[in-house]
Every structure is written in structure tokens, then in C-alpha cells.
Structure 1
């Protein structure tokens, strides 16, 4: 198992996830909350339902996350001007600052994992990963699948947000 490239990539992903979560804890943020912040930054104001779908958590979990984020000053709620029944979630200035902190965590993680790796090797790795991704997307398992929906639900920050 240890010689499997798949296992190595999976293990690396888990190590990076663990380290980034530890760093986000220092900012008093959970990964789903970071996803909410990036979603608001990228798509602007959204309903609670839209956020839940984009971040990939249940509406009740989103209710809890938003309540905590509102208490911390990361987001604000406002009634929609066109439809008073709809409440829109907005990114507060403190939430903007958190995004900068999350981006800093990402840069720190890249500095750690790229130690001892040349710029050329990093570029080669990115090219190889892009090719592997293309191969997966071209496989029969992905035929007819809306990849934008999968990306939004599994990693909302991956769509050009940083």
C-alpha cells in the first residue's frame, strides 16, 4: 500500500488538511466556515440555502455555522430588498480579514510542502496533476457529471477564489 501513488497523494492530502485545520483553529475557524467566507467572497451575497449547497453541508449545519460566524462578526444578515421573506448573508469586514488569514495559511502550507523542491519540479508536478485530473474527468465514471457542482460542493474555494 505504501508504494501506491494513490495512497501517497491521499496521505499527503490528509496531512495537509490536518495542518491547515490546526492553523485555522488559531483563527477560531472551522473548514466549513472558511468555505462560507470564500463562497461569499467569490459569489457575493447569498441565501442560507445557496451557501449550504455551495459549501456542501446540510441546512441545519449551515444555520449553526452562520449563527457562530455572525456572533464573531464574520458575516451579517440582511433582508433581500426585492423579497422581504428572503434573508441574504453578507461578508463582513472581519470576514474579509479572515480570508486574508486563510490565504496566508495556504501560502505557509505551500512553503512547507515545497521545501527542497525546485521551481521546475513544482511546475512539472502541477502539469502532471492537471493531466491526472483530465484523465479522471475523461473516464467513463465522470461522463455526464456536472463538475462545477462537484467542485462547489467539495471545495468551494477552488473556483478561482485564491
Structure 2
């Protein structure tokens, strides 16, 4: 393996991820939300009515942090919490109409970024790139569970 080429690829990969994140962050900032909030909005669009605990576990944040995020989104009328009919201790979270409208704006931003990233790629190149990323993900997933466990023991959840 050409170590210099691998180093260049690694640098390029990290640069690409940062650039994409910065563009996404700037676009979300104009909507008045943080990328972490956008992740939750997407999740609630796809899985409405989930419990706060389920959401926190799914996006790897502490339940206390989840409560703070939900309170902010609730104050902005983006989400609403409803007590579970069977277990009043459980709060179910749903997007409001305003939250659904925000999701559509977020989705538009995501699609625009995807178009920008993959402009000038043909279908074959997309397939090759996809397969290479799957291969890379499998390589890192062999140790990622242990790495995540150690990280969380040391630092708490991702937040």
C-alpha cells in the first residue's frame, strides 16, 4: 500500500467531511437551529411519537441533554411532548406543523448539498464510491463498538 497516497486520501477525506459540515452548519444556522437539533427533527419525521429515552439512545446523547434540546424545540413550537396513554411517565415526542415545515427546509438543504457533492459523478462512479465507502465502514466497524464504549466511559455520551 502506498503510504503517502493513503495519507493524502485520509487528509482529503477529513477535509471533505469538515467542509460539508461547515456548509450544513451555516445553512442550519440561518434557520436558527443547530446540527444536533436537525438530526432530531429528521429522526422525529421518520419515527414520530418515540419516547425521549428512545430518541436519546438513538442519537447517542444523555437523557438530560435530550430534555434540554426538546425544551428548546418545544419553546420554538417545533416539537410537542405528549404523555403516553398507557404509561403517563413516558413522554412521546412529535413534530408540530411548524416542525414538519422545518423538516422540509432541512431536507431541501440536504438534497442541495448532496447535489453539490456528487455533481459531475456518473452512475458508475456513484456505485464505485458507494461500494468503497461500505468497505471502509466495514473496516472501521470492527473496532468502532469498543472505541465508542471506551469513549462513552471516559466522556459520557457524545454530547
Q: Same fold (TM over 0.5)?
A: yes
Give distance in 1, aligned partners of 2:80 and 2:36: 17
Which residue in the other structure is 1:92 paired with? 96
Greater mean alpha carbon deviation, residues 121-130 or residues 4-13: 121-130
Q: Which runs of 5+ in 1 are unaligned?
A: 146-152, 155-162
Are 1:123 and 2:130 counterparts?
no
Give distance in 1, aligned partners of 2:50 and 2:124: 40
What's the TM-score, normalizing by structure 1? 0.76
Which residue in the other structure is 1:148 paired with? none
- Render the CA deviation track for 1:116-154: whole Å, top value 9, x for unaligned: 3334323321222122223334x4x25899xxxxxxx98
Which residue in the other structure is 1:65 paired with? 69
Which residue in the other structure is 1:150 paired with? none
Are 1:104 and 2:108 counterparts?
yes
Q: For this pair of structures, how many residues does the alignment match?
A: 146
Which residue in the other structure is 2:49 paired with? 45
- Render the CA deviation track for 1:81-113: whole Å, top value 9, x for unaligned: 111222211121221222211111111112222
Superposed CA RMSD = 2.7
Q: Which has the higher contact order (CA 8 A, sep 6+)?
A: 1
Give distance in 2, aligned partners of 1:142 and 1:83: 35
What's the TM-score, normalizing by structure 2? 0.77
- Render the CA deviation track for 1:8-39: whole Å, top value 9, x for unaligned: 11210111011101101111111111121122
Which residue in the other structure is 1:29 paired with? 33
Q: Which has the larger radius of gyration?
A: 2
Q: Which runs of 5+ in 2 are unaligned?
A: 148-156
Give distance in 2, aligned partners of 1:134 and 1:115: 26
Are 1:13 and 2:14 counterparts?
no
Greater mean alpha carbon deviation, residues 1-10 or residues 55-64: 1-10
